[in-house]
Amino acid sequence: MSRDGPLAGLSVVEMTVHRAGPFCGALLADLGADVVKIERPDTGDPARMQGPGPENRSGYFMANNRNKRSVTLDLKTEAGTDAALSLLEEADVFVENFAYEVPEKLGVGYEAVRERNPGIIYASVKGYGETGPAREKKGLDLVLQAEGGIMSVTGPEGGPPVKVGQAIGDLTAGMQAAIGVLAKLYERGRIGSLDSGDGFDTGDNHDDGSEDANAGAGTEEGASGFVGKFDVGLFDAIVSLMNEYLTFYSISGEVPGPQGVTHQSIVPYQPFETADGRVVTGVPSDDRWAEFCDLLDRDDLREYDTNEKRMEHAETVTDAIAEEFAAEPTAYWLDRLTEYGFPNGPLSDVADVVSHEQTAARDLVWDADSRIGDTSEDDNDSNEDSLLVPGHPLHFPEYDPELRRPAPRLGEHTDEVFENVAAQTTLDEWHDEGAFGTE
């Protein structure tokens, strides 16, 4: 199994806080990219101090900043901005989630970065994006869940709307930003290959025969005609998740309310109480209804042989199914539904997910090193606490995304990163001028 991920050789710099931007960087880092996180001196990403976990690296921060390196820069100093631009000069990708127009005020807006690196891919994550009347508003996940509509269809049927149990806007915007980065990488390579006339150019060959992911980065030739910036808003992300609700509204004119635990257009498709828990299942097509009736041994339900009939008589159908499910334990129904080939699963909590055999088989939860001291691979002393972080959802036959390093301590890699960016005399000047904060 190769240890080099598909994004090995890709250089990513991020100036992100909280969750949406950091989650984008974490996804890229898991796939092999070298992600350097620029943070404010002294305080860093506010997420470091939010929620339980080790000092300056809360569980919230650990989950979204694994596999990254941290440097500190004070962008309110001229030297700090110069250091940031020097780092970005050699980068492939820049991810930021500052408030609207803040990057420009700090000297790291797209035009300033592009002047130093014409091939840079610049991902901007905002609450409402960079256009439209709401672009200057601050955006938080909870606010955007409400304004973007997803809260209106979530919650007990007939009850008040509730938030989705996870920060769905943050995480979806982060995923969409990662997709945008990959799309722009492809576009940059395609434009570069058209300019060169040599076919698709995947990068510069090294002496060892390997290739860089940064084709065209930092060169006028590779960036000819290329605009590397794109933006995504949490509002955009949540509206996209409304999916068929928007289409249904255009057809019927009806505004849906909270959907509870049922499906808006399929019956049955919901949890059912068993003798000792809950099972979730559904019938995906009409041609399987007779088999479902056989499974339940309920001939009286055969007349509801179309989803249209089952929707019309939903209470009668689901009450009959519920009566059968309540008579046997969860394990019985999971086995029987699987035997008949119907989708099924128990209603799991967090502990159930962590211990699930499929979680282990797919390496979906990683055991992270949360110690405050040295994080080198050869330090295996006992001053160590273990905590879990989410694994990566993509699986490749030749590569397993892995936890190469835990989330960094604030500024842990400042010297390591910048000694490869500038000469020592320049580093000394930056230090003296407060680029890295006051010591």
pLDDT above 50: residue 103? yes
Torsion angles phi and psi, residue 387, rounded to 5: -140, 165
Q: Is-cis flag, bond preceding 406, omega within 30?
A: no
pLDDT at 263: 85
Residue 103 amino acid letter: P
DSSP state of 427: H
Where residue 264 falls among pLDDT bands split at 50, 70, 90?
Answer: confident
- Alpha helical stretches, state H, 4-69: 20-30, 59-64
Residue with tokens 């955007």, as numbered in its chain: 144
Q: How many residues does the chain have?
A: 439
pLDDT above 90: residue 11? yes
Question: How does pLDDT run across 334-379, given as a tens digit for each residue?
Answer: 999 999 999 999 999 999 999 999 999 999 999 875 433 344 444 4
**Residue (of 352, 377, 376) closest to 364 by Cα position:** 352
Evaluate whether 73 touches 15 at the Cβ level (below 8 Å). no
Question: How does pLDDT run across 108-159, given as a tens digit for each residue?
Answer: 999 999 999 999 999 999 999 999 999 999 999 999 999 999 999 999 988 9
Where residue 219 falls among pLDDT bands split at 50, 70, 90?
Answer: very low
pTM for this one? 0.87
pLDDT at 358: 95
Task: Name the CA radius of gyration of the chain, rounded.
Answer: 26
What is the C-alpha to C-alpha distance for residues 52 and 45, in angstroms, rounded to an integer?
15
Q: Look over the chain and give the mean of its residue pLDDT values, rounded to a whole number.
A: 88
pLDDT above 80: residue 383? no
What is the C-alpha to C-alpha distance for residues 50 and 148, in angstroms, rounded to an integer?
25
* Percent of the chain residues past pLDDT 70, beyond the cut: 88
pLDDT at 371: 39
Q: Hey, what CATH topology would domain 11-243+409-432 get?
A: Rossmann fold (3.40.50)
269-350 CATH choice from 3.90.700.10, 3.40.50.300, 3.30.1540.10, 3.90.870.20: 3.30.1540.10
pLDDT at 265: 85
Question: How does pLDDT run across 269-319, given as a tens digit for each residue?
Answer: 999 999 999 999 999 899 999 999 999 999 999 999 999 999 999 999 999
What is the C-alpha to C-alpha distance for residues 378 and 93, in angstroms, rounded to an integer?
31
Question: Please, which residues have CB within 8 angstroms of residue 341's CB and are 6 or more apart in sequence?
Answer: 291
Question: Please, which residues have CB within 8 angstroms of residue 65's CB and are 6 or more apart in sequence?
Answer: 22, 25, 26, 37, 45, 47, 407, 408
Do the strands 11-15 and 93-96 form a parallel or antiparallel pair, or are they unpaired?
parallel
Domain ranges of the chain: 11-243+409-432, 269-350
Residue 370: Cβ-neighbour burial (10 angstroms; 0-12, 13-18, 19+): buried
CA distances from 296 to 173, 268, 327, 354 (A): 42, 13, 11, 31
